[in-house]
């Protein structure tokens, strides 16, 4: 059974655009490169041919990966009002020590911790899921224990 993957509407559009580009642009480009390399003669010592075939394999693998992802994806619905509980799609404000930070809980394919987008499957994301404003979460990290307090959910 395939696991459920969460994604935002924007993330879904981005993935579909990538798939379209791979199928309709990259495939044709690679086919042309392979044909040109074949015309150069001996394929056993043809570096252009080998490189094009490797790229073709990579592109076909990525197409299969995206198509598989699209079969198991659940689009995160935008909510007009917060349920008061952290869930996938929630934007949270937390207090860590004396510093305030904001995060959005997203599916693993859209995670980007540097941009404040935390995967629901990460230890931090999992710790926040199901929590409410005022809840304090403690997470063990290599440097010790980090303590977070949820101060807002939207």
Q: How far apart are CA 147 and CA 96, in angstroms?
A: 6
Same CATH fold, 91-153 and 5-75?
A: no
What is the percent of the chain with per-residue pLDDT over 90, rounded to a whole number? 49
What pLDDT, in 10s, does the model give residues 115-127? 999 999 998 899 9
Please, what is the angle between helix 47-71 and helix 9-21, to 10°?
Answer: 150
Q: How far apart are CA 67 and CA 73, in angstroms?
A: 10
In the chain, where are the structural domains located? 5-75, 91-153
CATH fold group of domain 91-153:
Chitinase A; domain 3 (3.10.50)
Q: How far apart are CA 57 and CA 12, in angstroms?
A: 24
What pLDDT, in 10s, does the model give residues 8-17? 888 899 999 9
What pLDDT, in 10s, does the model give residues 21-72? 999 999 999 999 888 888 877 767 778 888 889 999 999 999 999 999 899 8
Residue 2 pLDDT class (50, 70, 90 cuts): low
Q: How far apart are CA 50 and CA 139, in angstroms?
A: 48
CA-based R_g, the chain, Å: 22
CATH number for 5-75 (one of 3.40.50.10440, 1.10.287.180, 1.10.606.20, 3.30.360.10): it is 1.10.287.180
pTM above 0.75, yes or no: no
Closest CA to 91 of 82, 113, 29, 32: 82
In Å, how far are 6, 24, 34, 36, 64 from 53, measured between CA atoms?
33, 17, 7, 12, 17
Pairing of strands 117-119, 73-75: unpaired
Angle at 82 between CA 154 and CA 104, to 5 degrees: 35
């Amino acid at each position: 059974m395939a696991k459920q993957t969460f994604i935002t509407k924007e993330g879904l559009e981005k993935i579909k655009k990538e798939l379209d580009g791979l199928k309709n642009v990259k495939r044709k480009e690679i086919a042309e490169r392979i044909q040109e390399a074949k015309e150069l003669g001996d394929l056993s010592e043809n570096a252009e041919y080998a490189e094009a075939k490797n790229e073709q394999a990579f592109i076909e693998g990525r197409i299969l990966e995206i198509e598989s992802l699209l079969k198991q994806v659940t689009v995160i619905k935008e909510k007009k009002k917060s349920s008061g509980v952290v869930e996938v799609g929630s934007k949270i404000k937390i207090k860590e020590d004396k510093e305030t930070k904001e995060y959005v809980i997203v599916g693993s394919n859209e995670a980007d911790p540097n941009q404040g987008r935390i995967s629901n499957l990460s230890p931090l994301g999992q710790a926040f899921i199901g929590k409410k404003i005022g809840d304090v979460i403690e997470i063990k990290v290599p440097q010790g224990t980090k303590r977070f307090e949820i101060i807002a959910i939207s």
